Amino acid sequence: MSTAAAYALSAPDGSFEKVTIQRRELGPHDVLIDIKFAGICHSDIHTARDEWGRTRYPCVPGHEIAGVVAAVGSAVSRHRVGDHVGVGCMVGSCGVCAPCLADEEQYCAAGATMTYNSVVDPAVQPGGHTLGGYSTQIVVTENFVVAIPEGLGLDVAAPLLCAGVTLYSPLRHWGAGPGKKIAIIGMGGLGHVGVKLAAAMGAEVTVLSHSLSKQEDGKLFGAVGYYATSDKQTFRDLRGRFDLILNTVSANLPIDDYLRLLNLDGTLVILGLPENPMSVQPFNLAGYRRSLAGSMIGGVAQTQEMLNFCAEHGIGAEIELIAADEIDGAYDRVVASDVRYRFVIDVSTM
């Protein structure tokens, strides 16, 4: 057993406090990581504040983890001491179900073990639930640790572990590339990475954002079109335009307005998850043989593929680096959409 410093919430309405947590002894397949940077994802906030009603305390969020291998178990073959590595949303899965065998561990039939707030044997994480990356160290089985390639800074790589793969996976699944017209709804932590990725894949990218306030950034990241969804004219001008629309917004949107922007056989993919159900006018699906779909993060192998792609194309997240004692304020700013574009905790300040 080893100890690590961490920032934890002990109640939904509390504030983050520095605590000491325990990490398990290294097993043969385990990797001990010195965490350098941890991104702040909106899911961290929902969980830390118990907005999804299933949070276990103390809660140490963080599933956008970038660091350096400090030690490896006797049987580890994929990583070596000193390697730059990352950990995303998952730290385990059954390994034998059909999705796991297809490298889609995020859809594990038994339910993947998430990086934080998953119930586990106390031998896996002392305390009985997983504790995430707002911490100086973490122990993860080697199959859920990915390599961060040379040339990709650990700070700008951290958000790619969740935000990056959440966009990369549907872009690949629905064939983003030259000749494809793609719209990204929302220019936040998820959306801005999606613009960069889709543009690097050779697709024609358009941003659909509430206002035009981030238009210059959007063009800089590779978007050729940028439209305000607060303007009704946008929905008239872009009717039938896109092959693929990725919705990163977790508020309830007028989904029919967006479906009508799809071309023949186009697909609208839900990535941001609103709390309330939504309704759809079936004519908008049947009319142009459109699809409404969803997608959740990506598997470990695809996360590695995404990081390699980002290194090759010089893609990192746009970040605001903060100290560990600034997490509470950062949460408030994320909720107010006041961040360009992802907060990342500098773990050296712990």
To the nearest whole angstrom, how small is the minimum distance from the Cβ of residue 188 to Zn ion?
12
Q: Closest CB to Zn ion among 65 and 148?
A: 65
Q: Closest CB to Zn ion among 62 and 67?
A: 62
Angle formed at CA 304 by CA 303 and CA 305, multiple of 5 degrees: 90
Chain position carrying tokens 């973490």? 138
Q: Closest CB to Zn ion among 41 and 158?
A: 41
Q: Which residues pair with 227 in a beta bridge?
A: 208
Q: Closest CB to Zn ion among 2 and 141?
A: 141
* Chain residues in the site for Zn ion (CB under 5 A): 41, 43, 93-94, 97, 100, 108, 162
To the nearest whole angstrom, how small is the minimum distance from the Cβ of residue 163 to Zn ion?
7
To the nearest whole angstrom, how small is the minimum distance from the Cβ of residue 43 to Zn ion?
4
Q: Closest CB to Zn ion among 94 and 228?
A: 94
Asked if residues 159 and 44 have their Cβ atoms less than 8 Å apart, the reply is no
CA distance 166 to 115: 15
To the nearest whole angstrom, how small is the minimum distance from the Cβ of residue 5 to Zn ion?
22
Q: Closest CB to Zn ion among 262 and 269?
A: 269
Residue ranges of alpha helices (H) inside 49-174 are 98-101, 154-157, 163-173
Pairing relation of β-strands 181-185 and 137-141? Answer: unpaired
To the nearest whole angstrom, how small is the minimum distance from the Cβ of residue 88 to Zn ion?
8
CA distance 161 to 25: 25
Angle formed at CA 266 by CA 89 and CA 225, multiple of 5 degrees: 80
CA distance 350 to 342: 19
Query: Exposure of 283 by Cβ count < 10 A (0-12 exposed, 13-18 middle, 19+ buried)?
Result: exposed
To the nearest whole angstrom, how small is the minimum distance from the Cβ of residue 242 to Zn ion?
25
Cα 300 to the center of its chain, rounded Å: 13
